[in-house]
Structure 1
Amino acid sequence: MVLPAFLGCGNSPAQWTNHNKLETIAFAIGVYRDIFKEYPPIVVTNDAEESLHSWRVLILPQIEANNFYDQYDFETAWNGERNIDLRDGTRRMDSDEPNELVNAGRVYLPDDSPRMQETVFVALVNGQLREKEVRLPSVTQTGHYLPPGEPFVVLEIKHSGIHWMEPRDVTPPMDRYPDWPSVDEVRDQIVGSVEIGDGDTRIFRDRTATLTYLESLTKME
C-alpha cells in the first residue's frame, strides 16, 4: 500500500479544516477507478451536448451514499424536474434517518456551513476531455474523460459558486465549457488539492504547493 504524500508547509493536515473530506473523495475516486478501470468522467452529456451529471454524483456509491444515487434520475439533468427535490434537499425517504438524502452531499460541503449546497471541491481540467459512452443506471450517455495517463486533481476552494450536483468544475478558458470558472478566477480561493495518480498514489498539496503545481502546468503548455 502506498501512503499518501503531503506537500507544503502553509497549512498542515491537522490545520486543514476539510482535509479529511478531501481524503474521502480521493479514496472514492480511487475505488471507482479500481472498479471501472478508469477515472469517472468529469461531466456527462446527452446527444444535444447538454451537461447532465457531475463526477461528484457518479462516485456517491463509493462514499456510501447509495440511497441518494439510487434516487437520482440519470435520464434527466441534475437540475431537471425529477431531480429538483434532491438538488434542493427536500426529498424524504421512509428511513430511520430522515435526513439521509440531505446528508448525501455533505462530503462536498464546508464543515462550517453544513446547510449550504455549494461544493468546495472541484476537479481541475487542464485540457480537452475525450468523449466516449458511459453506461449509467437505465441509460447510456456521453462521458467526458480525462486523457489517458493524466491524474485526477481535485482542488479545494473556499467559494466555487457551484452546486455539488452541478456538472461544472475549473479549467483554463475553453470554448467547450464557457460557463466554467477559470483557474485564474479561483486562484485566491484555493485552500489545497489532491492529485490521484497511478496505483494508490495520492499527493496532497497545501495552498502554496498547489499554486506552485498550477504554475508548473502553465509552463508546460
Structure 2
Amino acid sequence: MYHDHYGAYPPAYIADENGTPMHSWRVLILPFLHHRRLYDRYDFSQPWNSKANMRLATEMPEVYAFHGEYEEGVVTTNYLAVVGESTFWPGAMSRRSAEITDEEDTTIMLAENWGQHIHWMEPRDLDLETMSLEVDDPQGISSKYLAPAVVMMDSQVVKLRPDLRRDALRALLTVNGGEPLLVKDHGYLLDDGRDREERPAEETLSHEQPVGEIGTIKQLLDDPSAEEERTEERSADADAQD
C-alpha cells in the first residue's frame, strides 16, 4: 500500500523547481498496480510529455479504463483527483491519513470525469477552485453513465444525486471542514461502479474515450492482491473462450 510504504498518500503531482507540475499521481502509483516495469521505464528527470516519456503514452494500464471498454492504444483517463489545499489532493504536497478529520464515508477521494480529455500521464486533474460544482457537468464530476460516481475514503463507491447542492459537493471534497453530512444526503451506495445504466447513444457530453474503472484503484492501493485476482479472472475467461 502506498501510504504504508511512504507514510502518506501520493501527491497529485510532482513539480519542478518552478512549481510547474511534471509528473502525475497516476504514474507514481504504477508499482502498486503491478506495473513496476512501466514505472521503471518512465524518466522522472524529464517532463511527462517529453519524447522519452511519450513512448509510453499508449501503454495506459487497463485499470484506468471503464470496465469492459479498455482498448489497446487508449490514452485518455476519466479517473481524476480533485486538487485543492483542503481536498485529499493538496497539489505537490502529500496528505497523511491523520490530517483527514472528516468522516471517511463523506469524503471524496477520486471521481469520474467525461469531458476533460486528460492524458493518463498528464499531471492535471480537476481543481476545486475552478471546476464546476454542478453534478454531471463535463467541467466537473461527470460520467458516461446517467449519474457520475465517486470513491469515498472508506472505499465505498457512491453515485451522486443529480440535485446535489454545490455547497454540499464542496463539503464532500474537503477533508477537514467538519460539515455535518450523511451518506443518504448526497448519493446512493453502489455495490459495483460497473452496474449502472449508460446514457442513450444520442445523449452525449463532450468526451473522448470513456475511462476509469471506478473504485478499483483505491482497492488496489489498499489490497495489492486484488490485481492478482483480476489477472486470474482474465486468464480463466481466456481459457474458457479457447
Q: Shorter-normalised TM-score: what interval? A: 0.5 to 0.7
- How far off is 1:126 after superposition? 4.2
- Residues 1:119 and 2:77 are matched in the alignment: yes
Whole-angstrom distance in 2 between the partners of 1:188 and 1:70 = 32
Q: 1:49 aligns with which of 8, 19, 22?
A: 19
- How far off is 1:218 after superposition? 3.0
**CA deviation string 1:51-95 (max 9, x = no partner):** 1111111000001001100000001111012212112x2xxxxxx
State the partner residue of 1:76: 46
- How far off is 1:32 after superposition? 0.5
Q: CA RMSD in A?
A: 2.9
Distance 1:41 1:152, change over 3 A: farther
State the partner residue of 1:205: 158
Q: 1:162 aligns with which of 90, 99, 118?
A: 118
- How far off is 1:120 after superposition? 1.4
Whole-angstrom distance in 2 between the partners of 1:126 and 1:43 = 12
**Structure 1: which amino acid aligns with 2:168?**
S
Whole-angstrom distance in 1 between the partners of 2:169 and 2:141 = 14
State the partner residue of 1:93: none
Structure 1 alignment gaps of length 5 or more: 1-30, 90-101, 132-142, 175-180
Whole-angstrom distance in 1 between the partners of 2:155 and 2:142 = 24
State the partner residue of 2:149: 192
Whole-angstrom distance in 2 between the partners of 1:195 and 1:73 = 32
**3-state SS in 1 of match to 2:11:** coil
**Which is worse superposed, 143-152 or 78-87?**
143-152
Identity %: 26
Q: Give runs of aligned pairs for residues 53-68 of structure 1, distance below 5 A.
A: 53-68=23-38
**3-state SS in 2 of match to 1:70:** helix
TM-score normalized by the length of structure 2: 0.55
Whole-angstrom distance in 1 between the partners of 2:85 and 2:27 = 22
**CA deviation string 1:100-134 (max 9, x = no partner):** xx2x4221123425232110100122435657xxx
Whole-angstrom distance in 1 between the partners of 2:17 and 2:84 = 24
Q: For the Cα contact (< 8 Å) 1:122–1:156, is it kept in 2?
A: yes
Distance 1:79 1:54, change over 3 A: same
Structure 2 alignment gaps of length 5 or more: 102-106, 172-176, 180-242
**CA deviation string 1:180-206 (max 9, x = no partner):** x5545224446201122xxxx322211
Q: For the Cα contact (< 8 Å) 2:84–2:129, is it kept in 1?
A: no
**Per residue, is there more strand in 1 or in 2?**
1
Number of residues paired by the alignment?
Answer: 155
State the partner residue of 2:234: none
- Residues 1:171 and 2:127 are matched in the alignment: yes
Q: For the Cα contact (< 8 Å) 2:81–2:110, is it kept in 1?
A: yes
**Structure 1: which amino acid aligns with 2:118?**
I
**Structure 1: which amino acid aligns with 2:42?**
Y
Distance 1:166 1:215, change over 3 A: same
Whole-angstrom distance in 1 between the partners of 2:78 and 2:127 = 15
**CA deviation string 1:24-70 (max 9, x = no partner):** xxxxxxx1111111100111101022211111110000010011000
